[in-house]
Structure 1
Amino acid sequence: MDLKSIVPLQKNPNIPDFRPGDTVRVMARVVEGDRERVQAFEGVVIRKRRGGINSNFTVRRISHGIGVERTFPLYSPRLESVKVVRVGRVRRAKLYYLRQRVGRKARIRVGSRDRFEQLTRDVAGAEEELVEEQEEGVAPEAVEATEEGAAEAGAETPEEAAVEVEAEGGPEETAATSAAEQEKPTEG
């Protein structure tokens, strides 16, 4: 029994199909002590290793005159999203030769606009599917209640009605909550 049969691969909808030579912006969650934040890393994909669940890719960028490479596991839950900033046209699968090049010699030709448009369409379609799945997961009673509130409030959409219902708290409640928030001690 191997790892491939135990763990099914689930493609992250926020990660488009990209290739070596593309300039990407990777948003990865980083844990520092007990805090967690999202860190952006933008650079050129110099390698993409396909190995099932062990697939990963390496991104290289120049930071303050020093080359920095970072390898990300493709199926990691810490990977928030990958956005293709620019499509590059290269003739190699592994771009290790960029390590010896600096400045203008390390430039990569711009790829086809068609592929870039296709990538942006694929990501937009995946996001729409995700939103539709989340909307289907909402209880029908909640949707009906929101629509009834919209009819009473005169709102045009259920989203506007939900915002109006939340805002009906009145000035007394908002003043009391803001005073309570100011009295909270802050750690520093």
Structure 2
Amino acid sequence: MLKLDTQKTITNLESSFLKKNLPALRIGDTVKVGVKIIEGNKERVQFYEGIIIAQKNSSINTTITVRKVLQGIGIERVFLIHSPKIDSVTVIRSSKVRRSKLYYLRDLKGKASRLKQKFN
């Protein structure tokens, strides 16, 4: 009788769907996420630029929460990194942070919400 290791099988299956060309993403990075949008029979890529304020889960379920401020209103969007809807992820700048979740940025207004840039 053949015994199957279910966790190993799931890991092998998930690994075929993981994206290989993703940059190292950290909390506080300003990123530009290209999202594929289908309108009728046309497909285009729309970019969403903001700061990563949270990162959750691991492997194929990794999500990042990206926050941007548009006309004084904060907008947050959660992206499933390994989704086929995500075309590209580009790191624009990195910031020095000492927290794993930057939810405190929601309460700050204007220049107070700036993060100190980290140079590599």
Which TM class, normalised by the smaller chain length? 0.7 to 0.9
Which of 65, 81, 93 is the equivalent residue of 1:58?
A: 65
Conservation of the 8 A alpha-carbon contact between 1:12 and 1:75: no
Aligned residue for 1:147? none
Deviations 1:101-145 (A, max 9, x none): 11111110111x22xxxxxxxxxxxxxxxxxxxxxxxxxxxxxxx
Aligned residue for 1:19? 26
Distance 1:6 1:12, change over 3 A: closer
Give how far 1:90 is off: 0.5
Instruction: Give the partner amino acid of 1:90.
Output: V
Deviations 1:21-54 (A, max 9, x none): 0111111111223221100000000011132211
Which of 73, 83, 100 is the equivalent residue of 2:80?
A: 73
Larger radius of gyration: 1
In terms of fraction of residues, the more helix-rich structure is 1
Conservation of the 8 A alpha-carbon contact between 2:28 and 2:51: yes
In terms of fraction of residues, the more strand-rich structure is 2
TM-score by length of 2: 0.84
Which protein, 1 or 2, shows the higher relative CO under an 8 Å CA cutoff with sep ≥ 6?
2
Between the aligned residues of both structures, percent identity stands at 40
TM-score by length of 1: 0.55
Instruction: Give the partner amino acid of 1:22.
Output: D
Question: Gaps spanning 5+ residues in structure 1: where?
Answer: 115-188
Count of matched residue pairs: 112
Distance 1:7 1:54, change over 3 A: same
